[in-house]
């Protein structure tokens, strides 16, 4: 031990035993999107529930005190809970997009067609098309 540690032991009257600290095992990164989705979803639900509890408490304080700051805090809590529910919906959408990820598809139908030419050429083309359908 260093001189500082020896002095601290004497000053604080600490035992001379060494304490073994057991470190928490590190979490392995989850590669499965479904597991990540379920974990995140559970955490968001937990945050929403805690936010609702806090909001109810803040509203009780605001009603009993009629203090403007209490109402301001309540409004911020309402916004935070609403933002968390929005995150939950975005999680749904993003997870769906990740699961359906595949080759990029182009448009299946094209509705916008364009004729390049003069009006005289267009009239001739329409006249030919009309004659071919009449026969």
Q: What pLDDT score was predicted for residue 15?
A: 65
- Chain centroid, CA 7 distance in Å: 51
Residue 60 is predicted with a pLDDT of 92
Going by C-alpha positions, the residue among 94, 80, 95, 92 that lies closest to residue 47 is 80
Candidates 92, 4, 6; CA nearest to 44 is: 92
Query: Would you kindly state where each structural domain of the chain is located, as residue ranges?
Result: 31-93
pTM given for the model: 0.49
Query: What per-residue confidence (pLDDT) applies to 30?
Result: 47
**All residues at 6 or more sequence positions from 61 whose CB lies less than 8 Å from its CB, including other chains:** 70
Closest listed residue to residue 45, CA positions, set 96, 87, 108: 87
Task: Give mean pLDDT in consecutive 10-residue pieces for the chain, a chain of 135 residues.
Answer: 70 66 60 82 92 92 90 93 93 83 64 77 88 77
């Amino acid at each position: 031990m260093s001189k500082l540690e020896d002095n601290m032991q004497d000053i604080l009257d600490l035992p001379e035993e060494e304490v073994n600290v057991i470190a928490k095992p590190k979490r392995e990164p989850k590669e499965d999107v479904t597991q990540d989705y379920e974990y995140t979803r559970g955490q968001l639900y937990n945050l929403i529930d805690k936010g609702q509890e806090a909001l109810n408490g803040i509203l009780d304080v605001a009603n009993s005190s009629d203090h403007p700051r209490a109402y301001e805090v309540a409004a911020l809590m309402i916004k935070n809970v609403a933002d968390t529910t929005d995150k939950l919906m975005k999680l749904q959408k993003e997870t769906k997009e990740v699961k359906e990820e595949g080759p990029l598809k182009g448009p299946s139908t094209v509705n916008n067609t364009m004729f390049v030419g003069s009006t005289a050429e267009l009239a001739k083309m329409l006249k030919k098309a009309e004659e071919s359908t009449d026969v």
